[in-house]
Structure 1
Amino acid sequence: MKRRVVVTGAGVVSPLGNDVETLWDNINLGKSGIKLLKSEEYEDISTKIAGYIDNFPGEKYLESKEIKKYDLFTQYGYAAAIQALEQSKIDLETVDKDRAGVYIGSGTGGLQTLLNNHETMLEKGPKRVSPFLIPTMINNMASGLVAIKTGFRGPSFAPVSACATSNHAIGEAYLNIAHGYADTILAGGTEATITPLFFAGFSKMRAMSTRNDSPEAASRPFDSGRDGFVMSEGAGVLFLEEYEHAKKRGATILGEIIGYGSTTDAYHITAPDYQGAAKAMKLAIERGEIEPENVDYINAHGTSTPAGDISETKAIKEVFGEHAYGLKVSSTKSMTGHMFGAAGAVEAIITLKSMADNIFPPTMNLDNPDPECDLDYAANKAVEGSINIALSNGFGFGGHNAVIAFKKD
């Protein structure tokens, strides 16, 4: 029999706050974390805005020598994991660590570490490359460090599926617990990719917004004036726990994961195919043993790209039919920007907060809706209403789709 899986802790590092409550307060207020990049390195790049973090309290979580040793993506992931553990109130001295795991993914890993060492090699030769280059840059190091620090010896890995990364991490962790292989897993994603090289690459793809004169208005999902996504960074980690395990120790349950759908478009490396996204939503609903009409809210992938927002809207209509117009959909990337491998986890946390407080978070900057995006996106203002079941969507380059279904406890 499939075991129930609940969330008992959550942690966040983001451009809108380095803890869950600050992030959630800012989301409700419709605030934006997007700012102008001040470095001259971006002068010749079309996009000069991002959701970067400039007040991360690394010393709160790691010693100074460790801060120098680990890439920012690892630091962000570790900080979010510690927050999740603290909220869960799990006793690390008594928990069965052989049945406790870590699934924290990253789309790119230690990109800045790689670039810094490449520059060092070009300027000073290979002998000056850091011996920590490899263990610092590899994508699994956030999971590795968290496991080392906590002593969790259960299943541990780091999924990599671009923008769907942390939804895959949460979904696969959910299955692992549901099938009885573990009792607790820290799951989510982390990313620190704001670099000139990354910007140059996406700029050449014409995928990012160039609304540099108004950073806060640049991410505008479903709006007819959208011109691309806004890059962001940070981390989100959830503490997943088997229901009876959580109940036995008197844990506060933030919500239950009831379904998970994972599919692949098998269509194009960057262009979306709405049918793959639709199938992932259908699977999450079917596996959650609910009807489409039971879903009250969807936290959309909603990146603010011309093709992506239309594709997701078509997918929602395909799955929900007339009910697509009876539920609310919103893209919180309109405020956080696109956090890549961390996006799904941060948005899952926002979804859980939405359910707990019965508030539909807004899609900001939605002033002139695209005629092909005609659903209720909670435009420009948070809305109160009952939310018992919600989906959180994550779709990545390569055609990777991952959808999580949540239920209020």
Structure 2
Amino acid sequence: MASPHSSDRPSRRRIGVYGIGVVAPGGRNVAALEALLQRGATALGPSAKPELGYGLFAVGDPDFSFDDYAGWIAERHGDAYVTRMQAKMADNVQFAVGATIQALRCDPNLEALVREADEGCHVYVGSGVGELPESYRAAASLERATREWNHFWAQAEHCAARRQFETDGKHPDGPPPPVDPTTLPVDSEARLSALTAWDAYWSRYSQPLRAFLERFAAIERLDADDENQEKAHMSAMRKRLRAHRALVDEFGCPPPPWTAVSPNLIWNIQNGPAAQITMLLDVHGAAWAPVGACSTFGVALKCGRDAILRGEAKMAIVGTTDPRPDPALVAAFHQARVMPGIPDVNLPFTSLRGTHVSGGACVWIIGDADYCEARELRPIGGYVESIALSSDAEHIITPSQSGPKRAISRAYAEAGIEPLDVAVIDLHATGTPGDLNELALIDEYVTDRTRITARKGQLGHGMANSGGWELTELALSLSRGTAYPTGVTGPDLHPRVQRKSSIVMAETPLEGEIGVKLMLGIGGITACIVLRGARHSAT
């Protein structure tokens, strides 16, 4: 690699890390996470989900209780606000809010400063997969209600076309009826599927259903009698709701499918966590959800840092959040051949059997160092020297070498560092054959004194969070001047791993102040972050 020179480094603001919060397997906060890492322990364990064979898969369930944050929220917004959050907000919002509150508690001045920044405080909190369980619940509710709905209207007493078919075998114009479910074995999946199709077919020809729908539409057009414009909207909604219920009672039918889905599906869309954080803190800067798969934390961090460098923000709350390990996501990983179907934990650089799905959150509060430190804040996570993004443009899962090298080269150039400056580099390393490729691609960006770490055997693969957890670990290591043990041992290393002396196993001293974090996202999205340790950079 052609080594950049410090004189080439662009003049710019310093970006400090002033608050950190985590919700992770084995780490309900940063102190617990650090204790886990110091022991070199793993927080992964067998799943208890029946869909996953009661223990076939090792996953990372986050250590989290919303009660830890209820008092803080109630003190600022009241008990009713807490109750609403618990009732309406699912994992992603709750995890992100918890991690944000943790980050604010890192300094007694931080919350006031964030509020003071107001429009100058941006919020970028993304998710790797979104609130999958909430989506599944909505889909299941809709499907169940639709089956009951169609079954009711398809009955002969509600469908003249079916009565005629049963009398003389004549069906309506168009496609013939599907297979009669009564011809299939009782209690079989085939019979259930056929019944669903059978009911859907005949319900379309139900005249009472058409009458119901016409009446329903007429109710939707009802206006309120209340002349008070401020109350009219709510009054009209209550009036329509009462009329809808009376209509269902009159026809004796099940509730319509479109009334079966909880509005919580809307409250938990991708930008929900970022939006809730702005409401929690009453800040009015830009807020949205960046998504970059496993590189999402790096993408969010770059969004916040870039906004500060452009002068659009003084501070930014950045991070990621993902739900608890979902059986469907675990199954998809297994079918993609990147997750082993055994409860044994697979460490990076070892058997290369695959990774382990985890849930949780990670939130950093970053800011313009001059602005923050003039107000007596001190960085706890060092300074973000540079962030660069690139795409592999090659393969959706297996990283190339050329793609990530573009991000690494640009990150080093922007930070004004050379390989000799890098004390530690933390790799994405998912415990798959890609680990070997990743070791090869960083060869020209490190030296023999650079320590190499990888943490997915300890915390698992939070689809968006692992990069944030690992970057947090990097910040902690740089502040102590020591890399924490990884749980990897020499005898476990894969035969093709030649860099045994550089891979951190036990606690290892670091030579220098610069750490590099590499994130490789599904779809080939790479983020490379250069971090300068807090104990050195404040001087």
Give the TM-score taking structure 2 as reference length: 0.71
1:154 to 2:154 alignment: no
Instruction: Choose which of 53, 72, 77 in structure 1 pairs with 2:91.
Output: 72
Q: 1:49 to 1:100 in 2, by over 3 A?
A: same
Partner of 2:196: none
Instruction: Say which is worse superposed, 7-16 or 271-280, in terms of deviation.
Output: 271-280
SS at match of 1:341: coil
Partner of 2:299: 168
Partner of 1:313: 439
What is the percentage of aligned positions where both structures have the same residue?
Answer: 26
Instruction: Choose which of 111, 122, 131 in structure 2 pairs with 1:101.
Output: 122
1:238 to 2:361 alignment: no
SS at match of 2:442: helix
Aligned equivalents of 1:70, 1:23: Cα separation in 2: 25
Residue 91 of structure 1: how far off its partner (Å): 4.0
Partner of 2:207: none
Instruction: Choose which of 22, 26, 34 in structure 1 pairs with 2:32.
Output: 22
Residue 47 of structure 1: how far off its partner (Å): 4.7
Partner of 1:34: 44
1:368 to 2:492 alignment: yes
**Which residue identity does 1:50 align to in structure 2?**
V
SS at match of 1:296: strand
SS at match of 1:245: helix
Partner of 1:390: 515
Cα RMSD for the two superposed structures: 1.8
Aligned equivalents of 1:392, 1:175: Cα separation in 2: 18
What is the 5 A alignment of 1:177-256? 177-212=308-343, 214=344, 218-223=345-350, 225-254=351-380, 255-256=382-383
SS at match of 2:465: helix
Contact map agreement 1:109 1:140 (CA 8 A) in 2: no
SS at match of 1:163: helix
SS at match of 2:106: helix
Aligned equivalents of 2:356, 2:346: Cα separation in 1: 6
Q: Which structure: greater helix fraction?
A: 2
Contact map agreement 1:262 1:401 (CA 8 A) in 2: yes
Query: Number of paired residues?
Result: 397
SS at match of 1:82: helix
Contact map agreement 2:320 2:468 (CA 8 A) in 1: yes
Q: Deviations over 1:168-207 (max 9, x none)?
A: 1112211211221100001111111511211221111111
Contact map agreement 2:449 2:502 (CA 8 A) in 1: no
Contact map agreement 2:451 2:510 (CA 8 A) in 1: no
Aligned equivalents of 1:370, 1:56: Cα separation in 2: 34
Aligned equivalents of 2:291, 2:338: Cα separation in 1: 20
Partner of 2:393: 266
Residue 162 of structure 1: how far off its partner (Å): 0.7
Instruction: Say which is worse superposed, 198-207 or 382-391, in terms of deviation.
Output: 382-391
Aligned equivalents of 1:328, 1:71: Cα separation in 2: 39
Partner of 2:137: 116
Partner of 2:104: 85
Residue 59 of structure 1: how far off its partner (Å): 2.1
Q: Deviations over 1:69-121 (max 9, x none)?
A: 11101111111111111214314375120100111110111111001111111
Instruction: Choose which of 498, 506, 528 in structure 2 pairs with 1:403.
Output: 528
Contact map agreement 1:232 1:337 (CA 8 A) in 2: yes
Q: 1:172 to 1:371 in 2, by over 3 A?
A: farther
Partner of 1:352: 475
Contact map agreement 1:59 1:67 (CA 8 A) in 2: no
Give the TM-score taking structure 1 as reference length: 0.93
Q: 1:38 to 1:91 in 2, by over 3 A?
A: closer
List gaps (5 residues or longer) in structure 2: 1-10, 71-81, 147-256
Contact map agreement 2:418 2:445 (CA 8 A) in 1: no
Contact map agreement 2:452 2:504 (CA 8 A) in 1: no
Aligned equivalents of 1:193, 1:205: Cα separation in 2: 20
Q: Deviations over 1:127-175 (max 9, x none)?
A: 2101221221x11111111111112211222111110011111122112
Residue 384 of structure 1: how far off its partner (Å): 2.6
List gaps (5 residues or longer) in structure 1: none
Instruction: Say which is worse superposed, 57-66 or 247-256, in terms of deviation.
Output: 57-66
Residue 386 of structure 1: how far off its partner (Å): 3.6
Contact map agreement 2:485 2:507 (CA 8 A) in 1: yes
Structure showing greater Rg: 2
**Which residue identity does 1:362 align to in structure 2?**
P
Q: Deviations over 1:268-301 (max 9, x none)?
A: 1112102212221211111101112101101111
Contact map agreement 2:123 2:278 (CA 8 A) in 1: yes
Residue 305 of structure 1: how far off its partner (Å): 1.0
Instruction: Choose which of 271, 276, 287 in structure 1 pairs with 2:403.
Output: 276
Q: Deviations over 1:206-247 (max 9, x none)?
A: 1102332x3xxx131011x22000111111111101011111
Residue 363 of structure 1: how far off its partner (Å): 2.8
SS at match of 2:37: helix
Contact map agreement 1:103 1:169 (CA 8 A) in 2: yes
Aligned equivalents of 2:397, 2:456: Cα separation in 1: 19
**Which residue identity does 2:516 align to in structure 1?**
L
